[in-house]
Each structure stands twice: as structure tokens, then as C-alpha cells.
Amino acid sequence: MNKLTFISWNVNGIRAVDKKEALKWIDEHEIDFLGLQEIKAEADQIPETIFDREFKFQSINSSSKKGQSGVALYTDIKGNPDSCDHVDILSEGRINEYHFGDIAFFNVYFPNGQSSDERLVYKMEFYDRFLEHINDLRKQGKSIVVCGDVNTAHREIDLARPKANEGTSGFLPMERAWMDKLISHGYIDTFRHIHGDMPERYSWWSYRAGARGRNVGWRIDYFFVSDDLKDRILEAEIMDEIMGSDHCPVKLVLSV
């Protein structure tokens, strides 16, 4: 069976993880799509030595605010990269969009709403505009794959301390309701599809108080696919053994 393997990772600074040589594991894996978020760098600032292997295509979308946000996509799969400026509100470097075959693939660093009410409004607006965009592509006959740091834990099972965070952006009712809406529009949370209500599986841990060692975390990094791809989902994993960032990578394998 032929497979496509996707990896998504919020690296929290691509130059920082490179100094730790924390990307070298990628050379040892068969990866068809690698989506990195929060790279905090422009294309010419990314070291050429982050991997030993070379990908045939790469797309870097940097923020207009230096040292913030930014996403990077690497692949060997031939496709048609498309601009997504109409979705990338405020040019914050949050989206890579790549079309191959009948699939539109998105690597996204969704906004964090914790710093202010204005940023929470922006986050919710970004959510809605993004959903509208992928729904429009579905109407055109595209299948959808979305990966990235969504910056929201969907259900109580998706964070270690739900009660303590009910008033925190990242677990607010309005944010969780948008996740419900995404799923109601026919998008599948691939990890839950494969693993059901498996508890205590997280993808982000605060650097404070040894949270990762105690597994006091949040599952905020996801792969979603449109429901027409449901029968092609083979694997969906959280790679919490990979160190180097406050997030760990997540993985999706589809049959082709």
C-alpha cells in the first residue's frame, strides 16, 4: 500500500531548535510533508543545515513582525503552491497552502488569544475566515488536510487541568464551540478518530514547573481531514518522545 506521511511541529523558533540539533531526527524518517509553525525567522535566516536531506519544494511564510510567528512547509510531492494572503489576516505569517492532486494541504499557526481581548477577537475572526476558505475549496471538489498549532484544546480530555483553565483563552467556550463547528462541517480530528478517548495525550507543555515531566499539558496540535478522506486515515500519532520545543510533533499517515 502506498502511503503519505505528514508531520506537523510548532518548533518555537527554528534557529533555536537547530542549535539543539533537534531537527536531525527528520533525516531518519520517511516524510512526505513537513509543516513547521512558529519558526520566528525569515527565509534567509533559516540555516541550510537544519536537515541533511533536501526537499524538492519549500515554502516559507514569515511574519511582517520580525521574530514572531512564521510557518515553513517542506515536501517532495509535486503540486501547485497557492498564495493564501486573503486568509492570512494582518500578514502574520500563519499559513502555507499547497495543492497536490485533489488535495489542498494547509500548515497553519493559528493565533493565540491570551494576550488581550483584541487578540482573542482576531483569533476568532481568523478561525471563521479559515473555515470559510476551506469550505469554499471543498465546494470546488478539493479534499482538505489541515495541520498545525490550533491553540485550543477541544474537550476536557484534551488538557490536564480543564477546570482551572475554563476562563483561559485556549479553552474558552467560544473557542471550543468553533472546534465543534469545524467538526460539524465535516472535518475529522484524526487523533481521536484513531485513538478514541485516550487520556493524558498532550502536545504542548509549559516550560514552567517541570510541566512536561509531570505531563501537565494540552493537546492543541492537530491534523484534521475532510470526511471524504476518512477511509484513508491509517495512523495519527502524538510524537511526545521528540524534544526540542515546548510542543512535540504530531503525525498523520494517509493511504494513496
Residues with catalytic function: 149
The partner residues of 103 in beta bridges, in order of sequence, read 100, 143
Query: Residue 107: which residues within 8 A CB-CB, separation 6 or more?
Result: 8, 33, 35, 36, 37, 71, 72, 73, 95, 96, 98, 147, 148
Query: Residue 136: which residues within 8 A CB-CB, separation 6 or more?
Result: none
Note whether 74 and 54 are within 8 A (CB): no
Q: Provide the CB-side half-sphere exposure for 192 (13 A, CA).
A: 16
**Cα(106)–Cα(109) distance, integer angstroms:** 10
**Cα(179)–Cα(184) distance, integer angstroms:** 9
Note whether 80 and 39 are within 8 A (CB): no
Residue 246 CA from chain centroid, whole number: 14
φ, ψ dihedrals at 208, nearest 5°? -85, 145
